[in-house]
Amino acid sequence: MPIQTALDGMCRYFGGDYDPTTRTYRSSPVTGVGVVRRAWPSNDPHEDYFLGMDPGARTGSVIVIWIPRQHEYRRAMGGEHSGVKQIVYETIGEVYLRSRTAFAEDTQDDMYALRDALVERIRLDRTLGGSVFQAGEHISESGGDGIDFEYSKPVTKAGLTKGFFSMRFAAVEFAEA
């Protein structure tokens, strides 16, 4: 499977249907996600953070899913001339938040709630909608170690609080060797 196919499938799993006009996935099944992208935009429309949410939603997000590293190796099955290639995509979801809350603490709570919703989505289907063989599982020899999160502190300026966190996991695919 080409890397673009795996990436598109993961973006669809977290972001919904693809819109070729905006190059975004715009109907996320995850509460709190406005738009999912597979690259950083040249412009960053504020309305994308709240797409599909109730008008009073206090916090929204845009997620950029990308694969910065890929590792492949052969797994022998039934002898030296039979086997499969195990392809491990190091996958990162960069989650950008914008919040209309009066307090950064509320944005932080919303960030943790979104983190929980993303983990729940991964646990719902380890194939991420059939886009890969498995994702978010421990793969020691390939560097994958479950699902890992790293958070920034929210910052409020001019009545808008912004936050950021990254979600990292290994997505595995197998190909005939």
Summarised one tens digit per residue, pLDDT across range 127-137 is 999 999 999 88
Quote the tokens at residue 149.
């999160």
State the DSSP H helix or E strand holding residue 157, giving kind and residue range, or none if neither: strand 155-157
CA distances from 43 to 95, 109, 134, 146 (A): 16, 27, 33, 33
Band (108; pLDDT cuts 50, 70, 90): very high
The number of angstroms, rounded, from the C-alpha of 120 to the middle of its chain's C-alpha atoms is 12
When pLDDT is averaged across residues 66-79 and rounded to a whole number, the result is: 81
CA distances from 15 to 35, 104, 144 (A): 6, 26, 23
DSSP assignment of 35-92: EEESS--SS--GGGGGTTS-TT-SEEEEEEEEEEEEEEEEEE-SSTT-EEEEEEEEEE
Residue type, 26: R
When pLDDT is averaged across residues 93-98 and rounded to a whole number, the result is: 97
Query: pTM for the complete prediction?
Result: 0.91
pLDDT value at 141 more than 60: no
| Reduced 3-state DSSP string for 103-147 | CHHHHHHHHHHHHHHHHHHHHHCCCCCCCCCEECCEEHHHCEECE
Give the pLDDT of residue 140.
Answer: 60
**Maximum distance among all Cα pairs of the chain, rounded to whole angstroms:** 65
Give the pLDDT of residue 176.
Answer: 77
The number of C-alpha atoms within 13 Å of 96 and in the hemisphere containing its C-beta is: 17
